[in-house]
Amino acid sequence: MDESKILDAHIVNKLFVIMLKYAPAAMVICCMINTTGAYLGYDTSVLSYVSGISLIPWLFMLVASKAFRFCIYHRFMLYYIMIDNIINVIDYYIGIPVKDFSILMIHYVTLGLVMSVAVYKHDKKIRNERKRQNKETA
């Protein structure tokens, strides 16, 4: 192969991994901006087109997260995105009988809980690794 084609393929591969790694964080931010903007009365449909995600791409990102061995934060952001989508679908089709501010708080509390569990799991993993390293050096 031509050296420039190898370099181009390497750049594309790097770009793919970078986009795959940071897309969930960008999507979570857009979800929160979208939810808050809708509550405040702004038209946020553009964000739905830019960062909305359906089941099949979500499954791809989840499997890729495991395949590339991304950290637990990455998967928990994906879990939050799916929980957020489920809340939105239930509210849209069935209707959650609470005021708009309460729906906004449901989204924020859900994000807080998911991220708290992610931080706890990550911290637990770090502590277990340190204990294992201390046992090996002792």
CA distance 43 to 38: 6
pLDDT in tens, the chain (138 residues): 566 676 687 888 888 888 888 888 888 888 888 888 888 988 888 887 887 778 888 899 999 989 988 888 888 889 999 998 888 889 889 988 888 888 889 989 999 999 899 889 888 888 888 888 888 886
CA distance 2 to 122: 43
pLDDT at 125 (0 to 100): 86
pLDDT at 112 (0 to 100): 92
pLDDT at 132 (0 to 100): 87
Q: Is 42 helix (H, G, I), strand (E, B) or coil?
A: coil
CA distance 87 to 107: 8
pTM (2 decimals)?
0.78
Length of the chain: 138
pLDDT at 3 (0 to 100): 64
pLDDT at 2 (0 to 100): 66
Which has the closest alpha carbon to 104: 44, 31, 43, 28? 31
pLDDT at 25 (0 to 100): 87
Q: How far is CA 116 from CA 43, 73, 87, 93, 123, in A?
A: 30, 10, 19, 29, 10
